[in-house]
Structure 1
Amino acid sequence: MTGRPLTVDVHAHVLLPEIDRAVAGLPGHERQRELDARRNGPAALEVSGPMVAARIPLLTDVDARLAAMDAAGVDVQIVSPSPSHYHYWTGEEAAAEVCRLAADGVAAHIARAPERLHGLGLVPLHHPGLLVEALDQALARGLKGVEISSHAPGRELSDPAYEPFWARAAETGTVVFLHPFGCTLDERLDRWYLSNIVGQPVENAVALSHLIFSGVLDRHPGLKLLAAHGGGYLPYYLGRSDHGHRVRPDARGCARPPSSYLRDLHFDSLTHDPAALRELVRVAGPERVLLGSDFPFDMGDPDPLAALRAAGLADTPVRGGNAVRLFDLKDPS
């Protein structure tokens, strides 16, 4: 690492089979599996199963992970649970157990290489009363923050029930990683893997808009929120958000033009297009974008440094400096 900038990948996943074993057979599990299958479609399931199976070593074995990091020129990863572990259909007891297993599992995984791996836990968005406890549990395990989806069934991120969670996250300096899983457009996206290709960026844009327009970011100015997938579609159509805020009285739940809040948020670099990445840096600010690869899934980028070079950002703090600051990391270089 000495002699060159530190490279930090803030979007990398770990698979925790103990979570899936804990929820298998619980009431509602089969119904949720059927819903996911319907939303994704049979062709996607046929491809995704073998794809994930081929990546099990990268998702579970620390030595395989470190070797892949070395090959990609990545010094440090922020490891978060696979979003398939959210299980936002569970009851309170099972939800609390999922979050405990996530905190314990991620902590055990990163402990194998503490100089190179840091982790995030989970919180149960579908049970707001458990959120603060789950956040504190993750911090007690030495994790850097928690990962959430774009919504829970019947609840958007603007829900007032989440206010204690946002307050606690801001108070503790916890990073909240917004990573959607699934899309409620359902069968409209059940072909050609549109459930992910289109659905995930839609979910990012919807979730971030709820946080902005509802005033959550006004009420919790110290909140460290990191959005996956470059923030989805929102950063590239900000004019419409600002126009609506200007002309519509019912769109003025936030104190400032919506576009200005992008400089209060953080985004990973996973846009799959150098022009889009440069635009994200322009609208959010160069200190608000962090390298992210979605390791090791097929919708990620196996060579994230090449993406930075293509956008002319390889020698900027996007490569690692911004992550060192956001996650309060020690720079070994």
Structure 2
Amino acid sequence: MTVTLRPGPIDVHAHWLPQELFDLPPGAPYRPISDRDGQLFIGDIPLSIDSRLMSDVSAIRADMDRTGVAVRVLSAPPFAFARNDLPGAAEYADAFNESLSRVVLDGDGALVGLGCVSLGNVDDSARQIRQLQYAEGIVGIAIPPLAGDDSLDAGTLREVVRLAARANLSVLVHPMQLPGQALGRHYLTNLIGNPVETAVAVASTLLGGVLDELPDLRICFVHGGGCAPSLLGRWDHAWHARSDVSADSQRPPSEGFPRLFFDTVTHDEDALSLLTAKAGVGQVLLGSDYPFDMADSEPLTHALERGMSAHELERAARRFLGV
């Protein structure tokens, strides 16, 4: 399927969810989303954003105009991932994909979509990927870094990544911010939990032989790869020192790292510099994490101030998206 995008900066990391899906999929680790006096809550937890920003396409487009973003890639917020094989989970993902396709088709080349797959049943996942392969305006899928006890190197997630690669769909990996008792205060489920979840997925991809099996896989890890760039040397050392670390991969992690994509949402110039040094400039994509409180509200401005090139960012995004 051919997708035509407007020229200019492409934000690969932004979220959208229609209000009719605020109940979230069956088995979601969080209670439903609600609008309370114009503010968005998930259960009783405030998300610190205007409710309209999550669903209203006109608000999304206004933010794009404000920040100089020409194209925005929309995906479900991570709490809307359908991770369980419960009645209604597959139907929830189907409903999201149908709504997303309609929205991006109305975007005149300014919007493109990453669909959902239900992870509780591989047959459902395979069916949805076949449908997304030919869905108008959809270029890939968004998935969590963890499903049950597995990451991208095993189980359902590995099969989903395999199916996506064979269907020529891009894959964006977004942490779930899973609740944990030790991270219950100070928003540590996000501040520490998110980067760690992402680093687990990056390490599992590199050490699990995923790139060896799928050389054409286009996969992006958001939030600048989480902790992964600063841990790469430690992983390399272990790959050379321990046979159990190197058993499933053909090359040390640092050699596979530049084959992965990452976004610019690091909130730190030094972190972005480290990421580009480890991955290469051509593997770093513009991202915002719109519309959350942890988003970069000026993604393009900050990327340019930190030495990124608008042309290179757009070119890298088009390579990732396959357009």
The answer, yes or no, to whether TM exceeds 0.5 is: yes
The 5-angstrom pairing of residues 151-230 of structure 1 reads 151-183=146-178, 186-230=180-224
Alignment of 1:53-202 (within 5 A): 54=50, 56-91=51-86, 93-142=87-136, 143-183=138-178, 186-202=180-196
Comparing both chains, which one has the higher relative contact order based on Cα–Cα distances under 8 Å and sequence gaps of 6 or more? 1
Going from structure 1 to structure 2, the CA distance change for 1:22 and 1:258 (only over 3 Å counts) comes to: closer
Return the offset for 1:11.
0.4
- Determine the structure 2 residue equivalent to 1:41: none
| Distance of aligned partners of 1:281 and 1:103 in 2 relative to their CA distance in 1, 3 Å threshold | same
State how far apart, in whole Å, the 2-side matches of 1:154 and 1:328 are.
31
Conserved? CA contact 1:170–1:223, under 8 Å: yes
The amino acid that maps onto 1:285 is G
Q: Give the residue type in structure 2 aligned to 1:16.
A: P
Are 1:103 and 1:137, in contact at CA under 8 Å, matched by a contact in 2? no
Number of the residue aligned with 1:286: 281
In the alignment, what sits opposite 2:38? Answer: none
Q: CA separation of 1:317/1:94 partners in 2, compared to 1, >3 Å: closer, same or farther?
A: same
CA-to-aligned-CA distance 1:195-221 (integer Å, 9 cap, x gap): 001100000001111111111111111
Give 2:305's match in structure 1, choosing from 310, 319, 324: 310
Q: Which residue of 2 aligns with 1:276?
A: 271
Is 2:15 the counterpart of 1:13? yes
How far 1:46 sits from its partner (Å)? 9.2
Task: Mark the CA change 1:210 to 1:66 in structure 2 (over 3 Å): closer, same or farther.
Answer: same
Change (3 A) 1:167 1:46: closer
What is the DSSP-based 3-state SS (H/G/I as helix, E as strand, rest coil) of the residue aligned with 1:151? coil
Contact 1:126–1:153, Cα closer than 8 Å, also in 2: no
- RMSD over equivalenced CA pairs, Å: 2.4
Give unmatched runs, 5+ long, in structure 1.
35-43
**Distance apart, 1:16 and its partner CA:** 2.4
1:323 maps to 2:321: no
- Give 1:17-56 correspondences, 5 Å limit: 17-21=19-23, 23=25, 28=27, 32-33=29-30, 48-49=45-46, 51-52=48-49, 54=50, 56=51
**Ranges of 4+ aligned residues in structure 1 off by more than 3 Å:** 20-23, 44-48, 160-164
The residue matched to 2:281 in structure 1 has which SS? coil
Mapped contact 1:128–1:162 kept (Cα < 8 A): no
How many angstroms apart in 2 are the aligned matches of 1:164 and 1:156?
Answer: 11
What secondary structure, in the 3-state scheme, does the structure 2 residue paired with 1:156 have?
A: coil
Structure 1 position 50, deviation (Å)? 5.5
- Does structure 2 retain, via aligned residues, the 8 Å contact 1:287–1:322? yes
Instruction: Give percent identity, aligned residues only.
Output: 33
* Distance change in 2, residues 1:163/1:87 (3 Å): closer
One-letter amino acid of the counterpart of residue 7, structure 1: P
Moved more, 292-301 or 274-283: 274-283
CA distance in 1 between counterparts of 2:167 and 2:271 reads: 32
In 2, Cα distance between equivalents of 1:66 and 1:17 = 18
TM-score (norm 2): 0.88
TM-score by length of 1: 0.86
SS at match of 2:282: coil
Contact 2:85 2:119 in 1 (8 A): no
User: 2:89, 2:302 → 1: CA distance?
Assistant: 37
Q: Secondary structure at the match of 1:88?
A: coil
